[in-house]
Copies of this chain bind each other. A is one copy, B any other.
Amino acid sequence: MKPIVEIAKTAGIEEQDLELYGKFKAKLSDELWEKVKDRPDGKLILVTAMNPNPAGAGKTLTTIGLSQSLNALGKKTIAALREPSLGPCMGIKGGATGSGQAQILPADEINLHFTGDIHAITSAHNLLAAMIDNHIFQGNPRRLNPKKIVWKRAMDMNDRALRNIVVGLGDGNGMSREDGFMITTASEIMAILCLSENLSDLRERLNNIIIGYDFDDVPVRANEIHAVEAMCVLLKEAIKPNLVQTIEGTPVLIHGGPFANIAHGCSSVIGTKTALKLADYVVTEAGFGADLGAEKFFDIKCRKAGLTPAAAVVVITVRALKYNGGVKVADLAVENLEALERGFANVRRHIENLQKFGVPAVVAINHFTTDTQEEVDAVIALCQQLGAEAALSYVWAEGSKGGIELAEKVARAAEKPSTFRFLYEEDLSIQQKMETVVKEIYRGSGVVFSPSALKTIQKIEEMGLSHLPVCMAKTPYSFTDRADILGAPTDFTISVSEVRVSAGAGFIVALTGSLVTMPGLPRKPAAESLYVDGDGHIVGLS
């Protein structure tokens, strides 16, 4: 690792605009934005993927590797990524900072407490929760209906026992009521932090959070509980983007990490916009596959922040295609051109979808040693039939060198004049917006709304919030709302069981199927394999 001060210099950031957190992490000062805001923007590249499956794609890896390869081509590039959540690191997945020759450093610190952003969000979230219960305890002047409080508590931990709880038991401990914890990344505050342009915008959005309803069923907002200014105090540093580096010294702004189902799943607007002022190319990623992640990136983040994506990269693997084509995990190493072609139906649809947004798609085939030349040739040919460039990526093994062809194709695609457009206009009705996403992106025949979803939609319309974009919370594994239907299914409907409004973040969430906002730990948690070795190094995390 190089000192972060040197990495900053390569990005044109002076030391006085850094707030150092150790030698290898820094936050960007508030003043930096004022200095760079009038510069022209670089090109924004979105990295997305086919529907995820157990064979793995390598989206974060490719994002990091591509940013290194673009730099190697002499194109000044910064990666803009999401912060990993600590909870899942203790569960199944280990870290979320790439691996091999395409990783971000210092990986362990980024995966754990990092610069404290997520801890600050947890604190702000729970301060609001404590002030809500205290408001009721102290006489409830706002006449909050304790049965209709929608603001839960948050913790950055995988802890299923906290999903559904009863609080306020015992004498002197306030009103007993049902409550629950979500993981911090599912907090609306995380979504708000990621969509805010600055501290005033953050304050405004926090003010608008609907925390519950009063006895007349009128929404009660966070500002009525007088918690928002203190929440801003707690979030004052968390709103500043964090600068780190890749293993090759490419600057990375890593900031914010909202859930990709209940929220939009993209890194912060502040981080992305700052990166666009500092670099010629900014490579960023969205959550899950392109049906969820890219759609929300375009229709929520780009719309709200006024961003214009220049190109999108769809990360696939030969293995994942074969899995999608019906091959079992144990057999993925065996060449199977038929399954490959069947599985490609999934990728085809994602490419077509990206074209609907007017964004040129480049396919990155994240290489595994078991891939055969015939398989790779077949994939490339299939992509070309769709007018999409494709390139093999060896960034895991070779770093920037392994992504030169990909970088060249991405850069070429990004040079074309933008034809970017949103999927829907905001003035459509809430139902129409959801139907548009389902028909155009998922290719379902329509949406079935539950009675309670329809009731909430009506309520949102009465609140005057129907102009907000929609945020679909759907299984990432399928275009449908059933995780086991792979490929490119047709003739299905999507069931919206529940609708929620995130009035602070500024979107309307449609829940399809059941949604868990607090993960659990598996039979053998990853935490059991973590340790600090005799030299003080963390083992088992990344």
A contacts, CB < 8 Å to B? 19-23, 30, 86, 90, 112-113, 116, 119-120, 122-123, 126-127, 129-131, 133-134, 137-139, 153, 155-170, 172-175, 178-179, 199, 226-227, 229-230, 232-234, 236-237, 520-521, 523, 525, 527-528, 530-532, 536, 538, 541
Contact = CB atoms under 8 A, between A and B. Distances in A.
Contacts of A137: 160-161, 520
A186 to B, nearest CB: 16
A156 B230 contact: no
A316 to B, nearest CB: 33
Contacts of A131: 521, 525, 527
Given A20-B20, A165-B165, A229-B528, 8 more contacts: A21-B22, A127-B157, A133-B159, A134-B520, A138-B523, A160-B168, A161-B168, A230-B531
A139 B524 CA distance: 12
Contacts of A178: 169
B234 A112 contact: yes
Does more than half of chain A's interface fall in helix, strand or loop, or is it mixed?
mixed
Contacts of A119: 113, 116, 119, 122-123
Contact of A528 (B123, B160, B230, B237): B230
Nearest to A158: B130
Contacts of A169: 163-166, 178
A90 B230 contact: yes
Contact of A536 (B129, B155, B229, B236): B236
A541 B373 CA distance: 65
Nearest to A228: B531
Contacts of A199: 532, 536
B164 A170 contact: yes
A159 B130 contact: yes
Please name the 10 residue pairs, one residue from A and one from B, whose CB atoms are nearest each other, closest first. A230-B527, A229-B531, A119-B119, A130-B159, A164-B170, A133-B161, A164-B169, A134-B521, A230-B530, A161-B167
A113 B237 contact: yes
Contacts of A523: 138-139
Given A90-B230, A523-B138, A236 B160 contact: no
B233 A532 contact: yes
Contacts of A520: 134, 137, 174
Nearest to A238: B113
Contact of A30 (B21, B112, B160, B536): B536
A513 to B, nearest CB: 14
A479 B20 CA distance: 47
A127 B172 CA distance: 28
A126 B155 CA distance: 9
30 contacts: A20-B23, A30-B536, A90-B130, A113-B123, A113-B237, A119-B122, A126-B157, A131-B521, A131-B525, A131-B527, A155-B155, A161-B175, A161-B179, A163-B169, A163-B170, A164-B168, A164-B169, A164-B173, A165-B166, A165-B167, A165-B168, A166-B169, A169-B178, A174-B520, A227-B527, A229-B531, A230-B528, A230-B530, A233-B530, A233-B531
